[in-house]
Amino acid sequence: MPYWLTAVNIYCERTDTSFWSEPFNALTNLAFLIAAGLLWSRAQGQGGVRLLAILIGLIGFGSFLFHTFGNRLTGLLDVFFIATFIVAFAYLLPRVSWQQTRWRALGAMVLALSFMAGTTALVGNWRATLDWLPPGIYLGAWLMLLIYAPLTRRLGSVAKVGRSASRFIWCAASLFAVSMTARQLDMPLCLSTGGLHWLWHLCNAWVLWACARAIQYPSQAPQTERTETFADRVGS
């Protein structure tokens, strides 16, 4: 069998290699499509929000493929869409909510991604003894949300906007802690619960929705207070 088509069986619900071996894990990806649709309907011409909405939909699609076909190729596709969302959000948050220049936003993105890469490397070294830790990319992303929340409140271009966007990030961080816990307990509690990975999907759909809402607020500020938005800059 080709390497990329090798079956992957790492979740409690999967008992064989059939397409519907993970029905709950597969169908709960509908939550990503619902979240993406809600974001798109409220985007009001905001290019950044629409981009994140598309990526959330693709995350749901990639995850559905992974939990149905269950091989290395679909697993790579799943991770690729998640990583793309992280990169986009790490740029858009400072660019839109903090009203930074393109170069400063890129710098902030590089710092965030470097931090997550370092977390991934550290967790990789610790997993032998601390196997309960979530993957480093997810732990690093959660820690970045904890950093982003107070920064957004402080650096938001309008005080009211900064507070509102910060609340969305705090909500995302809190819900992400729940989803990571569910992911890590999927196999340990397999016999008693039948698996918890489906809860990871349901929670993360709204984690990503909340992150996207955090960059939606600048265009909803009162006209007398608002500054140039991402959509304005793209059009200029």
Query: What is the structure's pLDDT at 161?
Result: 64
DSSP 15-65: -SSSTTS-HHHHHTTHHHHHHHHHHHHH-TT-HHHHHHHHHHHHHHHHHHH
The pLDDT of 137-166, averaged and rounded, is 85
Contact 81, 54 (CB under 8 A): no
What mean pLDDT, rounded, does the chain reach? 89
Higher-confidence residue: 131 or 204? Answer: 204
Query: What is the structure's pLDDT at 224?
Result: 39
Query: What is the structure's pLDDT at 236?
Result: 38
Query: What is the structure's pLDDT at 234?
Result: 43
Query: What is the structure's pLDDT at 46?
Result: 86
Query: What is the structure's pLDDT at 217?
Result: 63
Contact 53, 208 (CB under 8 A): no
The pLDDT of 211-231, averaged and rounded, is 60
The pLDDT of 87-106, averaged and rounded, is 94
Residue 102 has pLDDT above 80, yes or no: yes
Structure tokens at 15: 């008992």
Higher-confidence residue: 68 or 231? Answer: 68
Domain segments of the chain: what residues? 12-235
Query: What is the structure's pLDDT at 218?
Result: 55
Instruction: For residues 184 and 208, give the distance between their C-alpha atoms in angstroms, rounded to a whole number.
Output: 19
Predicted confidence band at 128 (pLDDT cuts at 50, 70, 90)? confident
Sign of CA dihedral 66, 68, 71, 74: negative
Query: What is the structure's pLDDT at 230?
Result: 44
Query: What is the structure's pLDDT at 52?
Result: 97
Predicted confidence band at 231 (pLDDT cuts at 50, 70, 90)? very low
Q: How far is CA 195 from CA 153, 165, 175, 181, 191, in A?
A: 37, 33, 19, 12, 8
Instruction: For residues 148 and 135, give the distance between their C-alpha atoms in angstroms, rounded to a whole number.
Output: 20
Query: What is the structure's pLDDT at 158?
Result: 54
Query: What is the structure's pLDDT at 58?
Result: 98
Quick one: residue 79, left, alpha or beta (phi over 0 = left, psi -120 to 50 = alpha)?
alpha
Query: What is the structure's pLDDT at 227?
Result: 44
Q: Which contiguous run of DSSP H or E holds residue 8?
A: none
